[in-house]
Amino acid sequence: MDTHKINAMLQTSLMPHHCTAKVGDRLHIRLPHIPMTRYTEFLCFEPEKQGDIDCFAEEPPAEEGEGLLLPSEIVGRALRPGRLHIIVNASDSSSGARVSEIEPFSIVIDIQET
């Protein structure tokens, strides 16, 4: 796996690192699209929530086409005011082991009263 290329794609993507929402809003947070290759076919992203985890209810994302790694977005609804940190780690889908050579990335969601 070419971790240097994957890290570069993650750092140069247009993915938001911070977003603000109001209670009741539905959020679609796009994650980087990593092309499916022989080096990435067993790579997956594992989102981990920290902070006010009960202020956001995650929903299952829509079905994706072939050739992309899943998940490609985090979908959910803002339930109450708070701050949520989503840290996304890369892992090997066959073993479940974290791929430490790929830097985790984080997204902060600030949810405000309407």
Q: Which domains occur in the chain, in start order?
A: 3-112 (2.60.40.2020)
User: What is the number of other CB atoms lying within 10 angstroms of the CB of residue 75?
Assistant: 15
pLDDT band at 87 (very low <50, low <70, confident <90, very high): very high
pLDDT band at 63 (very low <50, low <70, confident <90, very high): low
CA 29 to centroid of chain Cα atoms: 7
SS3 12: helix
Most confident among 10-19, 43-52, 67-76, 77-86 (mean pLDDT): 77-86
Q: Which tokens hold the place of 37?
A: 């290759």
Amino acid type, 5: K
pLDDT above 70: percentage of residues in the chain:
85
Whether the per-residue pLDDT at 55 is higher than 90: the answer is yes
pLDDT of the residue at 33 = 73
The owner of tokens 């929530």 is: 49
